[in-house]
Amino acid sequence: MEVKPTTNWFRPVVPVERPLMVRPRIAILARFAESTSATRYAAIVTARRLADAVWAAGGEPLTMIAAAGPAGTDWAERLRGIDGVLMPGGADVNPSAYGQSIASEHVYDVDDLADDADISLVRYALSAGIPVLAICRGLQITNVALGGTLIQHMDAPHQHHVAPVTLDSHADELGLTSATLEASCYHHQMIDTVAPGLEVIGRSAEGYVEAVKIDAPAWAFGVQWHPEDNYDTNRPQAELFERFVAEAARAR
C-alpha cells in the first residue's frame, strides 16, 4: 500500500531581524574605600549615582581597578572595546604629583597608586582620541597630568554647595540647551595654575575654575561640580552625560 506523506504542520519561526542597540562602554576608574557595609572589608567603588547617570544617558558604565605594574597601565590593552573614559570624583591628589609637599591638615586619603593610575589613564585616553569626561577630582587630576597645580585647601570650601554656573563658551559642544546650570559641588581643593591644553570655559561666582575644554583629538571636557548629583532634576546635567555618551558612540 502506498503511504502518502503527511502535511508538515510545523513551520520554524523565522526571527525578525532588528537593529541591535549596543550601549557605548564607558570606563570609570574605581576609587578605593577602607570599608563598605556590603563588602565588610576594603573595597573598590563607583558612586551609584554616577553609574546611574551614565546608564540613563544610554551608556554602559564599567568599573576598572587601579592596578600597579606594566599590565596595570597598559591602557591600550585594557581599554580594548571601551568607547569613552569618565574620570570620577574621589579623594585628594597627593601634592607630590604637582611638585609640592602636603601643606594642609585637610588633605585626606592620598593614594599614590590611585594618582598614578589616574594620570596614566587620562594621558593615554586624551592622546588616543577617546572621549573623556572629567568630574571633580577627575578634573583636578587631568590638570595635574597636563602640568598644572592645585590649591590644597580653599579658604571657603565648596562642600554641600549648590550655585549657578554660567559657561562662557562651548555650551553647544556639551549638548546643553542652557549655558547656566545648577552646579552641585563637593570639593575643598581646586585648580590653581591651569595646565597647558586646558581652556577655562566656566567659573564660579568667586572666580574658581568650574569647567574646561581639554585640547584633544576627541571630545574632552572637565567640570569641577558633580553633575550626577542632580542629573534627574536639572535637565542640563543629564544633557551633559547624554552628549558624552553620544560622542563615545560616535567615536566607536
Q: Per-residue confidence of the chain (252 residues) as pLDDT tens digits?
A: 555 555 554 455 555 444 556 999 999 999 998 878 888 888 989 999 999 999 999 999 999 999 999 999 999 999 999 999 999 999 999 999 999 999 999 999 999 999 999 999 999 999 999 999 999 999 999 999 999 999 999 999 999 999 999 999 999 999 999 999 999 999 999 999 999 999 999 999 999 999 999 999 999 999 999 999 999 999 999 999 999 999 999 988
* 12 domain-assigned: no
175 torsion bin: left (phi>0), alpha (psi -120 to 50), beta (else): left
C-alpha cell at 24: 557605548
The candidate with the shortest Cα–Cα distance to 218, out of 135, 122, 136, 119, is: 122
228-243: b or e for each residue (b if 16 or more CB lie within 10 Å)?
Answer: bbbbeebebbbbbbbb
**Cα–Cα distance for residue pair 217/194, rounded to 1 Å:** 20
* 157 domain-assigned: yes
Read off the CATH number of the domain in which 161 is found. 3.40.50.880
Give the pLDDT of residue 18: 45
- Between the alpha carbon of residue 147 and those of residues 52, 113, 143, 150, 157, the distances in Å are 32, 19, 6, 10, 23
How many domains does the chain fold into?
A: 1
* 78 domain-assigned: yes
Give the pLDDT of residue 38: 87
Would you give the distance in Å from CA 30 to the centre of its chain?
11
| Terminal alpha carbon distance of the chain | 66
Range of the domain at 124: 25-251
* 19 domain-assigned: no
* 15 domain-assigned: no
* 198 domain-assigned: yes
With beta carbons less than 8 A apart as the criterion, state whether 187 and 88 touch.
Answer: no
Give the pLDDT of residue 170: 97
**Residue with cell string 591628589:** 93
* 186 domain-assigned: yes
* 10 domain-assigned: no
Active-site positions?
136, 226, 228
